[in-house]
Amino acid sequence: MGAGRSVGCEGELVILEEGASRLGVSVAYTVAWGPSVSSLDQGVLDAEVERLLEELRGRYSLEGLRGDPRVRAYRDFYWRIGVDPTKTRPSSEALVRRGLRGRFPRINPLVDAGNVASARHMVPVGLYDLDSLEPPARLTVTRGGEEFKPIGGRPERLPPGVPVLVDSRGRVVHVYPHRDSVETAVKPSTTRILALAAGVPGIPGEALLETLRELGRLLSLLGWSSCPPRLLPTG
C-alpha cells in the first residue's frame, strides 16, 4: 500500500500471548503511513531534536539517570530476562544518554521521529515496515532455536524463554524490548509502518499511549498520518 492511501485502523495487528503476559509486559501500537522515507526532508525534525535536547538537559543528569523510575523499571526487567542493562542499555535510556552528551542519533526522518518520542517519554519504540511484516504479530516467548536476524549483526538462534515479537510467517522481528530484525526494518521505500511502544512492569499504560501520540504528532510534521494508538489488555 503506497503513500496517500488509507490504512485501516481496525483489526488486531498485535496479539499479546499468555507467556509474554506472565512476564508483566504491556504493549501499545499504532499504524502510520505516508510518503516514502527516501522522499522525506531530512531537516524537518531539526527543531524538534533541539527542543528535545534542551528538555533532557533540564530533566536529567548522566549521574542521576539510573535513579529515574522508568529507567529503573526497564533495567529491572532486563535483569529479569537475563540481559545485563549496564552492558546493553534499554534503548530509551541509551537515547537519553546520547542526548545528554549532545550526540543524539540521526538516521532518517522516520526513525528519528521514533527516537525523539522514545527519549521524550523514556519508553522504547519499535518501527516495522508493514510491507515486509506479515500481521498479526504475536508477542510471545521462544521455545528455543528460533532464528533471529538482528540489525547490524549476524543471524543467531535464540534460547528458550526469550520474549519476542513474531509475525504470521513465524519470523522473529523483535527481541523484546531492545533488538529489531533487519527483515522488517524501516528502509528508503517504506510508506507504512507498525509502531510499537514496549512496556514493562512499573510503566503505566498511559505512558505507552502518550509515547505513540507524540510519535503521531512528529510523523504529521513529515506528512504522515496515523491511527489512534491502541493499548492491549494484559491478563
- Taking the C-alpha atoms of residue 12 and residue 136, their distance in angstroms, rounded to an integer, is 7
pLDDT given at position 56: 97
pLDDT given at position 49: 97
DSSP per residue over 41-69, as a string? -TTTTHHHHHHHHHHHHHH--TTTGGGSH
Q: Which DSSP symbol is given to 26?
A: E
At the fourth CATH level, the homologous superfamily of domain 14-229 is: Phenylalanyl-trna Synthetase, Chain B, domain 3 (3.50.40.10)
pTM, 2 dp: 0.94
Q: How many helices and strands (H and E) does the chain possess?
A: 6, 12
Q: Which residues of 146-183 are buried (b: 16+ CB within 10 A; e: fewer)?
A: bebbbeeeeeeebeeebbbbbbeeebbbbbbbbbbbeb
Tens digit of each residue's pLDDT (9 = 90 or more) over 110-150? 999 999 999 999 999 999 999 999 999 999 999 999 999 99
The whole-angstrom distance between residue 97's C-alpha and the CA centroid of its chain comes to 17
